[in-house]
Structure formats: structure tokens, C-alpha cells
Amino acid sequence: MYLSYNKLWKLLIDKGMNKTDLCHITGISTRTMAKLSKNQSVTTDTLLSICMALRCDLSDIMETVHDDPGTSLYDAFLKAETVADGDGIFNISEFEHKGRRVKVFKTVSKADRYTRIECVGDGVVWKQFYPNGFPGSTYSLKTDQKLFGMNMYEKDAVNIVVISGKAYDIRGLDEGPFVSSRRVPNGFSYVYLMSEPVFKLFDPIHEFE
């Protein structure tokens, strides 16, 4: 069970306001606003100041949500709606899991035993090698405006890039913005990247506590 402030964000929209406006009229800090965005606990004084500013009750800005303890991240992903990005690279799913917003970017193409994924700088390169040992087609999954843009990778969400199929190798993780399932995104590193088999068992509990 966790607290959800989705009612608050809907109320702000109804009043034609945004989070910056709320900070201004209540005096709450951006750090507290970040906690609210992540459905984390805040002081009762903060909640009361919001209610006073918006002239509403606590029930108008928050509610308790009961989680099914048996629902895994992958189960939640399977139930979520999926949309294709404009470049045909990813299918994108967005959903809530244990009080956190999750965005999954799953590649349309399937990797196989001749696929190598390389994280280089701020991008990811997909290299396909054929059985004869010569490199085949190569295309980029770079984190630039053309493919991702600021509206795709959001620091308030748990971002996960999933390579469909079973890649032969994934290189360069934990050296830039892309981190493995064993790490916690922090600072410059803020996007998980993993193969599909790993994703099926992945449950970043530390992200939701």
C-alpha cells in the first residue's frame, strides 16, 4: 500500500496551474515537490499548506493505493498499453508500479546470437554480425533529440530500455547514462538497459522504497 498524489496533479490541471505555481503559492521547496512527484511521504504541514492554498480537503489531493504483492514489474508491463515511437525503433509502455511511474522502451527488432549491443558515450549502437564473421547492418539508438528527446527519458520515472530477443553481448554498461540491472541509476546514470530475459525477472525494489 502506498500514498498517491495523482488527485493533486489532476486538481492542478483543473485549476490551470502547474507544479511551479504550487511551489510559489505554498512556499514548499522543489525537493518536497520532487517527493510528491514520486509518491513519497511529506509532512502534514506540507499537506495542510497545499489544502489551504487550493481550498480543498486532504481527500481531494491524496489517496491510498493497495498493491497486489504478487504483481511483478514484468506483469505490470504486460498489462500496460503500448505505443510505437515515430522512428520505428521502440514500442513504449508507461505505467505505475509500487507507487512509481515506469517507462519501458522495448526495441522492435529482435536481437539474436549474432547481435552485439555497445553503449558508447550517450548512445547505444546495435551491431549485427552474420555467421561468416563479417559485420552486417548497423543502426544507432543514440540518446539524441531525433530518437528520444526530453519527453522520453524522464528523471521522475524509472526508465528501462529492453533489447528484445537474446543479444550475444551488451558492452559498456555502467560507464555512462545506461546502467545494468545490478546498479541504481544516479546522477548522470539514469536509464536501465538490459536484455529481454533479464527484464522478465527484473524488479528494482530499491527504486520503489
Averaged pLDDT of the chain: 80
Q: In the chain, where do the E strands start and end?
A: 2-4, 63-65, 82-84, 90-97, 100-107, 115-120, 123-129, 135-140, 158-163, 169-171, 178-179, 191-195
Percent of the chain with pLDDT over 70: 78
For the chain, what is the domain count?
2
Q: Measure the CA–CA gap between 128 and 131, rounded to whole angstroms.
A: 10
**How far apart are the C-alpha atoms of 120 and 124, rounded to whole Å?**
6
Residues 6+ apart with CB under 8 A from 126: 107, 109, 111, 115, 117, 138, 139, 140, 141
- Helix, strand, coil percentages (3-state) for the chain, rounded to 5, are 25, 30, 45
Domain that holds residue 39: 2-65
Task: Answer whether residue 50 shows pLDDT above 70.
Answer: yes
Which pLDDT tens digit goes with each residue over 133-158? Answer: 555 555 555 543 333 443 456 667 78
Last residue of a domain, one of 34, 65, 96: 65
Query: With bands split at pLDDT 50, 70 and 90, how would you rate the model's confidence at 18?
Result: very high
Give yes or no: residues 55 and 81 share one domain.
no
Does residue 178 share a domain with residue 124? yes
d(CA 24, CA 157): 24
Q: In this structure, are residues 153 and 147 in contact, taking their beta carbons and an 8 Å threshold?
A: no
How do residues 96-114 score in pLDDT, each as one tens digit?
Answer: 887 788 889 998 888 888 8
- Do 60 and 96 share a domain, yes or no? no
Return the DSSP state at 168: S
In three-state secondary structure terms, 164 is coil
Residues 58 and 85 placed together within one structural domain of the fold: no
